[in-house]
Chain A
């Protein structure tokens, strides 16, 4: 599956997206941390997104349950939760 990164998450990762193998949301976040160590610990800590960051599933809804199972073609968007603009 594909993980797309925006804003500070992109800056820390040093890339705008990454392809990972993951069955669940938790797996995907941990895979992101392994593929892009720069996101640790500000974006990902202890295998979870930190408070200031969110995951959107396919751009349709926000998700946070680490046990949520993902489908093969799913895309996760990692975004900052900081409002303001």
Chain B
């Protein structure tokens, strides 16, 4: 047994209630580590690329990592991996906190869920013992109402039940947000997954782990994380607005006159409620604000962007209430905003009409009236309206709050992202915030690093404390598992595997692109295609973007 791991995943068939322990080879653990890497391997191993996302045969993977359960700060995380009903391609999402620790103690490194329960159900894994229980009484309830005493629970809201294509899976107030994984869970009639356990795993060097945990915790209180601790990610609003990189009104504009109203400064001054942190986290990046009705709502930059400037809304109270309703419904705010912005520009709603937005969130969750079409996401909406040019997406995933016209590294990351337009899997804007000209090889290295972090798993908000993440991260992994892994090579292998998964799903070269509206000025199509060609070459892929290595199984 490799320290840090149980050495197996549990495959559960909801159709039959049966389960089996599937051993994970040591070389797979060393190559893909955990989190998104191992989760993608398991998804491929279970035929994830072969089935429609809503098919009973489609696997839904919840994958932990060797660092879960250790005292290393920000390590309480897990990945959810499946084929996305929004894009048709691989979706890997990260969520955090107590569920990760409980799921690891329940006895496995990952859970592969297949089949479809007869009625709306709860899956329970209790120290490895599996049961599937009818939970019809939870129909229509938010995920936060779906707890089970003594357990930690990941659940879906009403949007997951109705298979809204951008429904989330939620746990402990956090979300595996993008790509519609909540709809995959809903298609299995799975309302909630509850876990409990007592099975600890040994680490290779317990004293070394404790020593590193103390060092990292100390560093996590320093200037590299000040933004997250003191202001939150919403600090981005005014900065990006000033740089003309804050998309507004369906990406028609790159700044928003109402930005000060929905800024971090305004929110902290007028609506502050508190601050929280994930389990095992010393940073504490969650800033909670008071919505108009007095209820607490957690706000991140992406939600403020998507429910504010993207929709032309500067009413702070309405924006917060929209975020709260998205959380209760179990809907990804970025995709909701992108879909409604498309609808607005098509003339079906007015930009800035907050009251209609609030009403529409619940109609989408119930698939009622226009909500039924809107639940399909912006790409499908725009196709039905005969206005495909109005959908701001890549591969069907709505673009997050960074204007690619101002940020070329981010533009490339969005275009080639395996889960679609993605600010987390790419280099983010680190490389755009530089005095150096864009180097595509560095974009690749940043992606590899991100893949490694998402597989270890450590929070990316911690990355500023590392002087040399490849070396220091590898040392953390060695202390926990005894494995000597080149993290950047592992990251590259994970990126290759993701791409192979998408190739198996039918990915075509022309899907690595950006909407026509964004290909203007310095970001011409020719420039983007040139960067993409350089990216494929730097990855050792064919000129058509196909990896030579990595069998899908």
Contact = CB atoms under 8 A, between A and B. Distances in A.
A4 interface: yes
Contacts of B87: none
The listed residue with most A CB atoms (<10 A of its CB), out of B233, B243, B300, is: B243
Interface stretch (B95-103, B221-229, B310-318): B221-229
Contacts of B434: 62
Interface residues of B, number: 35
A40 interface: no
A10 to B, nearest CB: 7
Given A11-B231, A52-B223, A85-B302, A79 B428 contact: no
A59 B245 CA distance: 10
A79 B423 CA distance: 19
Nearest to B268: A11
The listed residue with most B CB atoms (<10 A of its CB), out of A10, A59, A80, is: A80
Interface in B302-334: 302
Contacts of A54: 433
B54 to A, nearest CB: 32
B489 interface: no
Contacts of B226: 8, 42, 80, 82
B242 A8 contact: no
A73 interface: no
B265 interface: yes
Nearest to B236: A85
B469 interface: no
Contact of A83 (B223, B300, B430): B430
B244 interface: yes
Contacts of A42: 223, 226
A80 B435 contact: no
A56 interface: yes
Contact of B430 (A7, A50, A81): A81
Interface in A15-43: 42
Interface in A56-85: 56, 59, 61-64, 77, 79-85
B242 A83 contact: no
Contacts of A56: 243
Contacts of B423: 85
Interface of B: 223-228, 230-231, 233-236, 238-239, 242-244, 264-265, 300-302, 401, 423, 427-430, 433-435, 460-461, 463-464
19 contacts: A4-B242, A6-B238, A6-B239, A7-B239, A8-B230, A8-B231, A52-B223, A59-B242, A62-B434, A77-B243, A80-B239, A81-B433, A82-B224, A82-B228, A83-B433, A84-B233, A84-B461, A85-B234, A85-B301
